[in-house]
Amino acid sequence: MPRAIATLDPGYFAWVMATGIVSIGADLLGDQLLSQVILGVTVAAFVALVLAYAARFALYRPFVRQSVADPTTAMAYFTVVAGTDVLAVRLVLAGDPLVAFALGAAAAVVWVGLTYALPWSIVAAARRPVLSEINGTWLVWVVATQSLSIVATAVTPSAPASWLRAELPVIAVCLWGLGVMLYLILIVIIFLRLLLIEVTPAEMGPAYWIAMGATAISVRAAAGILVLHDPRAMVLVALLRPFVTGASVVLWAFGTWWIPLLVLLGFWRYVLRSYPRTYEPRLWNVVFPLGMYTVASYSLGHVPGLGFMASIARVWVWVGIVAWVAVLALMGAALMRALIARRQPMRGVPL
């Protein structure tokens, strides 16, 4: 257990992200029982990881400093923000807006710290990351930013103060715009990395699925802005509606374009290059985009003229659920193998 906590993957909150978004997708499409069951797993995963991360920060700070100093892993800490926000949005659907507001506020504090501390630490380290050190994990920065926008719109109707109900829509719009700009900047760098530098099967990991997931969550954040009905937000929404709708359709199309390419890259990794098909925590980075694509398509599909997206979501939701079950089974099998391996040396010990 100490070794597992010390070497905990910085991006393990992708488990909460993936589980929470699959629960949201099931709830939106009417499967309440399945959604409730998956929500229970989400809460359990969140509590376990909060405790594990807290223990790691308190007891194994050298490991934390090492992961923060490495540009290839540091950005994975944004999964803490995104995972917390996904759970918050699911709790809004469950009728717990105040708990969701508290989680969103905590995630916002973490986001502010990470969004300035991580780039600053890279600059201050006097060692610039080379192109080969930038991978799909960096796009979790976009996912975390857009997740805050979604929480802001989700808790606006039940915000505990009138000034918050007036300001949260503005915050949501600004965060959405910031997330889109971050995506445009980072996706160009990642494309250059893929096309100009040789990529090994180990490097071509599940994190690249976030390229699609970041577009999907940007679409979902935009859909949340478009459905705001608070009178104080209506003027802002009316001014931005054509731009937000158009940008959302472009992002949805680009995210859809990513899916076959990512499947081909996975085929190259696992089949053509025979990479081991074993459990790794980053596999949750595949499940989250699949689930988010369902939620984004369903949400934007309620805009007039875009109903075909909702039809796609009703089918695609099962892709996310199957992927979630598969990765959960792989994780359980890996845990069982670890427990068996831990007990085996004891068999030869005389009593």
Report the CATH fold assignment for 2-334.
Answer: Glycosyltransferase (1.50.10)
Residue 272 DSSP symbol: I
Quote the percentage of the chain above a pLDDT of 70. 93
Predicted confidence band of residue 126 (pLDDT cuts 50, 70, 90): low
pLDDT at 134: 80
Predicted confidence band of residue 287 (pLDDT cuts 50, 70, 90): very high
Look at 177 and 337; give whichever has higher pLDDT.
177
Residue type, 13: F
Predicted confidence band of residue 20 (pLDDT cuts 50, 70, 90): very high
Predicted confidence band of residue 209 (pLDDT cuts 50, 70, 90): very high
- Which of 62, 47, 49 has its CA nearest to residue 9? 49
Look at 346 and 240; give whichever has higher pLDDT.
240
pLDDT at 350: 44
Cα within 13 Å of Cα(238), Cβ side: 7
Q: Determine the longest span between alpha carbons in the chain, in angstroms.
A: 78
Q: Report helix angle 307-343 to 284-300, nearest 10.
A: 160
The distance from CA 134 to its chain's CA centroid, rounded to whole angstroms, is 18
Tell whether the model's pLDDT for residue 178 goes beyond 60: yes
Quick: pLDDT tens for 226-257: 888 767 667 777 888 889 999 999 999 999 99
Quick: pLDDT tens for 264-285: 999 999 999 989 888 988 999 9
Residue type, 345: P
Look at 163 and 262; give whichever has higher pLDDT.
262
Q: What are phi and psi for residue 328, nearest 5 degrees?
A: -65, -40
